Structure 1
């Protein structure tokens, strides 16, 4: 995936990548999203296939990689959406999808992204998910695009499988806990 000048990349795993891609495209299509691809990251096999990743033996997660315009949408906003659109409290599963390929993870590309991911995750864990978040925050390694038929899968197959845990939860805005209590 090429990245236009000034654009940035974000990579997340939140269960079955079809629903994750579909939700991000719907939410950010006219709000900073330049492109989105589904693929595999976080494992040790070279050029993994869907079948190999689904076996749970490659170590890869089904993931989404987005290219976005940081002038229109912030990395923080993309991560807050990530935590609202899946259940980050279930290790290696989302709904009926079970295995390490369905884990919740943020794959950061820069030290700044790492810090933002840790900050957002801490706030989300305290304020929304009440101490239950199991999301991994790890450096982005080698990315592998998923096969062509997986890209835009739910657009091409509107009645295709969508994980029941992928829906937008209604949480209040995150509070900035760096301000004194009297200002919250």
Structure 2
């Protein structure tokens, strides 16, 4: 079996997508619920100025990351994949968040081949660098950009990432669904290698 390369986002992908809401509601005196977060940028759902949200993030971003809950099924799927394949975590988090990110991954016993903190949502260069076979993502705009460069994307369903699914993007409900799609991909991939 050939090793495959999986690129995996962190926030909203292996972590629960809405863990930031209670702290943001308290800080901004708002009462939003997950269903109200229909855009990726949190300040839109909160109805606050981007600069005000940046101040909130500066104060509480690290705490929110440390307290994030892991999505159901993540560990089982990733442990199964890591036996034979490469797992590259590619996140838009800033490099200043490396310590809290590494601690969280270690605390949850998440296997990995590498961790890239880009400080940017442009993940295409990393996908090329890692010869990505499948990119697991929650941000719609990232999925579209990656798919436009020919990468296969599994887009984990969230209220804020609804939109037309371009070729190369598959919407998935949870990590059970992700596991099923990856298993099908691996079987197809292995069959194609034998056929060659």
Category of TM-score, reference length = shorter chain = 0.3 to 0.5
TM-score (norm 2): 0.32
Name the structure where strand makes up a greater proportion of residues.
Answer: 1
More helix by share: 2
Structure with the bigger RCO (C-alpha within 8 Å, sep 6+) is: 1
